[in-house]
Structure 1
Amino acid sequence: MTQDVSFNVRNNNGEAVRVAAWRYQGDGSGPIVHLQAGVHADEIAGMLVLHLLMPRLQAAEAAGRLKGQVTVVPQANPLGIGQFRQGRILGRFHDATGHNFNRGFDQSAAMTRAASNVQEWQKKLVELAANADVMLDLHTDDEALPYLYVHRAFWPGGRELAAAMKMDVAIIWDDGGDGSFEETIIAPWLREGATARRMAATLELRGQGDVNDRYAQSDADGLYHWLCTQGVVDESVAAAEWPVEAMEMGHMETIIAPQPGILIFEKELGDFVEEGQRFARILRTPGDPSSEIVLHAEQSGRLVTRYRDRLIAQGMGVAKFTGSRVSRNWSGGLLDPN
């Protein structure tokens, strides 16, 4: 029987807000799974995906075909979901403190008593997922191809997941250090060397404007398909086929805006560019042609992500490309440190 495992945390006014979560019990013979979306509250796509997945899990449970226990948190962050400013949700950072919602989970989880409402929320969310064998965290980029973000310990096993989700790129990482949710959950697995029958990954479900029934249904179908292949649901399905490009995180090439201005892309997501080829330009002062700067690819590769807005500030990331060598700008750590 499905169990309500929701919990409350305090908002900035000290009032209780609910993190809705459901647990589909299964018969205990399959893996323990934790699925969540919306840790960064402005990343909406995964929320709809899990909303569409839940009835299928409930049906499998009712039919006696659910083998694993599956916890679903379709909207994980009530603290960020209401942070609207001038018509736009600002859900990456906690408005009151500037805390990135997906950083510092490790420190919060280690606290006997959380000091802030963000830390309280982080601690309770980690506790909800602590006994999982499989943890999938659904995110969304600005504008992007669908891609998988996965620790090396779970590769090449993660290729099957990426294929099921029709993800074009898998970015493989080794070291984080900023206490993301994924990093915090897998830390004890890595310490114990107990990763063989486990899986953890962050799924980047395209861009923030890509929220619609077609994409969400395809993603929910892919996720259900993969759960079947992992023995979570007793349903015979063939492993998915999809070309997935595995990419070392250090080979990902991020292009930074050298000046503010109007951003004009000349290449589309998925396009391949040669090293030195122009792909965008930034016009600082409309009416002054000399204020325009052309942006060129640092190395040959595919355009994976783009900045969503078309007015960009200096120092912001314009785009990310795959590459065949370590980026000259790579210094270790996370793909997006902030």
Structure 2
Amino acid sequence: MHDALELSVTGDSGAALPLRAWRLNGRGDGPSVHLQAGLHADEIAGMHVLHTLLPRLREAQESGRLAGTVTVVPQANPLGLGQFRHGRLLGRFHDATSRNFNRHFHESIAMEREPGTFAAWQKALFALASEAQIVLDLHTDSEALPYLYVHEGFWPEASDLAAALSAEVAVVWGDDDDGAFEGAIVERGRREPHAGLLLAATIELRGQSDVSDALAQRDADGIYRFLCARGVVDERVEHMGWEGEAVPIGNMETIFAPVAGVLVYSCELGERVAQGQTIARIVARPGDPSSEVAMRAPQSGRIVTRNRDRLIAQGDVAIKMTGSKPSGSWGGGALDP
């Protein structure tokens, strides 16, 4: 049966907040799967993707074609969903602790004393995924190409996921000291190899404004094809080769705004740029031509993300791009700031 799971977590006000999830039990002869979206509560696209995918998974279950058990959590972060301020949802950081919602999972899981609201939510969410063999965490960047974060232990086998989703870049990482959700899942797989973790990946579904029926259907179809190919659903699918670019995370360049001001891009998403090429400029004091500051590519590569805000603060991420050699500014970790 496609039973809704009756779950809740305690919000910062002390009120119970629903953590809506569905668990579709298959025959039991396929991999178990956990799909979630909205861990950063202001990243909406994945919510619509899972809303679109869920009826198709129910149909597979009802027709006896669902081999594995699938848990679907379309809105994984009820704490963040309550953080509307001045007409905007501030869903990346927890108001009460200033913590990034996708960090510190390793600390929360290990906590033995009574946890606060942030840690209790993280423990509850992690528990939903704790027995899954395939874990897909759906995010979006600010403005971006579709891309993946994948641990090196799952690569290149995970190129089937990249192909199914038409991801243009796979960022391959090895160590995580920050406690991202994906990193905590990978660490669980190392501690419990008997559980048979097959894949944990973070899927970046373009940018935060890329929410539409057409894109949701495309991405839902891609995840469904991947699940079929991995034996979760009994349905033959055509093998798809992947023609994207796999990049070690240490080769990714994250370019920060050197000053505050009006951000003007001179390159498009997906564009290949040469080392030293001007990729954007910041007008620090409009009206003063001397205040324009050029931002240049630290090495040759491809533009993967841009900041969707065109008035940028000093130190904000302006661009992320691929590179063919280690970045001089990379400081380790599984995910960018």
Taking structure 2 as the reference length, the TM-score comes to: 0.97
Look up the match of 2:76: 76
Look up the match of 2:138: 138
CA distance in 2 between partners of 1:59 and 1:41 (Å): 28
Task: In structure 1, give the amino acid aligned to 2:167.
Answer: M
- Superposed, 1:82-161 pairs within 5 Å as 82-161=82-161
Aligned residue for 2:80, secondary structure, equals coil
CA distance in 2 between partners of 1:113 and 1:258 (Å): 42
Does structure 2 conserve the Cα–Cα contact (< 8 Å) formed by 1:153 and 1:195? no
Q: CA RMSD in A?
A: 1.3
- Superposed, 1:178-197 pairs within 5 Å as 178-192=178-192
In structure 2, the CA distance between the partners of 1:263 and 1:177, relative to structure 1 (3 Å rule), is same
Does structure 2 conserve the Cα–Cα contact (< 8 Å) formed by 1:26 and 1:67? yes
Look up the match of 2:266: 266
Look up the match of 1:12: 12
Aligned residue for 1:80, secondary structure, equals helix
In structure 2, the CA distance between the partners of 1:73 and 1:205, relative to structure 1 (3 Å rule), is same
Does structure 1 conserve the Cα–Cα contact (< 8 Å) formed by 2:131 and 2:195? no
In structure 2, the CA distance between the partners of 1:43 and 1:114, relative to structure 1 (3 Å rule), is farther
Aligned residue for 1:52, secondary structure, equals helix
CA distance in 2 between partners of 1:295 and 1:12 (Å): 41
Task: In structure 1, give the amino acid aligned to 2:22.
Answer: W
CA distance in 1 between partners of 2:330 and 2:95 (Å): 29
Task: In structure 2, give the amino acid aligned to 1:257.
Answer: A
CA distance in 2 between partners of 1:320 and 1:193 (Å): 34
Taking structure 1 as the reference length, the TM-score comes to: 0.97
What do residues 226-260 of structure 1 show as CA deviations (whole Å, max 9, x unaligned)?
Answer: 00000000000012234120000000011111110
Task: In structure 2, give the amino acid aligned to 1:63.
Answer: S
Deviation at 1:323, TM superposition (A): 0.4
Task: In structure 2, give the amino acid aligned to 1:110.
Answer: A
Does structure 2 conserve the Cα–Cα contact (< 8 Å) formed by 1:108 and 1:114? no
- Superposed, 1:193-208 pairs within 5 Å as 198-208=198-208
CA distance in 2 between partners of 1:31 and 1:153 (Å): 18
Does 2:240 match 1:218? no
What do residues 106-140 of structure 1 show as CA deviations (whole Å, max 9, x unaligned)?
Answer: 12112234421111111111111111100000001
CA distance in 2 between partners of 1:193 and 1:244 (Å): 30
Deviation at 1:98, TM superposition (A): 0.8
Aligned residue for 2:78, secondary structure, equals coil
What do residues 39-91 of structure 1 show as CA deviations (whole Å, max 9, x unaligned)?
Answer: 11011000000000000000000000000000000000011012111111100
How many percent of aligned residue pairs carry the same amino acid? 57
Look up the match of 1:322: 322
CA distance in 2 between partners of 1:312 and 1:232 (Å): 44
Look up the match of 2:173: 173
In structure 2, the CA distance between the partners of 1:101 and 1:43, relative to structure 1 (3 Å rule), is same
Look up the match of 1:209: 209
Task: In structure 2, give the amino acid aligned to 1:124.
Answer: A
Look up the match of 1:23: 23
Deviation at 1:157, TM superposition (A): 1.0
Structure 2 regions of 5+ residues with no counterpart? Answer: none
Task: In structure 2, give the amino acid aligned to 1:92.
Answer: R
CA distance in 2 between partners of 1:95 and 1:192 (Å): 34
The farther-off stretch of 81-90 and 237-246 is 237-246
Structure 1 regions of 5+ residues with no counterpart? Answer: none
CA distance in 1 between partners of 2:114 and 2:107 (Å): 9
Task: In structure 2, give the amino acid aligned to 1:244.
Answer: G
Paired residues in the alignment total 337
In structure 2, the CA distance between the partners of 1:196 and 1:108, relative to structure 1 (3 Å rule), is closer
